[in-house]
A and B are shown apart, each in its own frame.
Chain A
Amino acid sequence: MLTDLTIAQAKAGLEAKQFSALELTEAHLHGIDTLNPRLNAFLTVTAEAAREQAKAADAAIGRGDIRALTGIPLAIKDLFCTQGVRTTAASRILDSFVPPYESTVTANLLADGAVFVGKTNLDEFAMGSSNMTSAFGPVENPWKRRQDQNAILVPGGSSGGSAAAVAARLAMGATGTDTGGSIRQPASFCGLVGVKPSYGRCSRWGVVAFASSLDHPGPFARTVEDSAILLGSMASHDPKDSTSADRPVPDYRAACRRGVAGLRIGIPREYRVDGMSAEIEALWQQGIDWLRAAGAEIVDVSLPHTKYGLATYYIVAPAEASSNLARYDGVRYGLRRDGAELSDMYGNTRAAGFGTEVQRRILIGTYVLSAGYYDAYYLRAQKVRALILRDFTEAFAQVDALLTPTAPSAAFAQGEKMDDPVQMYLNDLFTVGANLAGVPASSVPAGLDSNGLPLGLQIVGRPFDEETVFAVSAEIERAAGFSALPAIRAGV
Chain B
Amino acid sequence: MALDPTTIRRIATLARIQVDDDRLEPLSQELNGILGWIAQLNEVDVDGVEPLTGGAQMAMKMRDDAVTDGGYPDKILANAPDRNGAFFAVPKVVE
Partner-B contacts on A (CB < 8 A): 96-98, 100, 198-200, 212-214, 239, 242-243, 245-246, 305, 307-308, 311-312, 314-315, 322, 326, 329-336, 338-348, 350-351, 354, 359-360, 362-364, 366-367, 370, 373, 376-377, 379-387, 389, 420-422, 435-439, 463-464
Contacts and interface: CB of A to CB of B under 8 A. Distances in A.
Q: Please name the 5 residue pairs, one residue from A and one from B, whose CB atoms are nearest each other, closest first.
A: A438-B55, A382-B51, A347-B18, A333-B79, A213-B54
B27 to A, nearest CB: 7
B91 A341 contact: yes
Contacts of A351: 17-19
Interface in B38-95: 38, 40-42, 44, 46, 49-58, 60-61, 63, 72, 75-76, 78-82, 88, 90-93
A317 B48 CA distance: 23
B44 A314 contact: no
A99 B40 CA distance: 41
Contact of A421 (B1, B30, B57, B81): B30
A422 B37 contact: yes
A421 B11 CA distance: 19
A340 B91 contact: yes
A435 B54 CA distance: 9
7 contacts: A98-B78, A342-B91, A350-B16, A386-B51, A387-B49, A439-B55, A464-B57
Given A100-B78, A307-B40, 5 more contacts: A200-B58, A213-B53, A350-B16, A360-B31, A383-B52
A342 B82 CA distance: 13
A367 B31 contact: yes
B67 to A, nearest CB: 14
A363 B18 contact: no
Contacts of B1: 373, 376
Given A336-B82, A342-B93, A382-B52, A362 B57 contact: no
Contact of B55 (A347, A362, A437): A437
Contacts of B51: 379, 382-383, 385-386
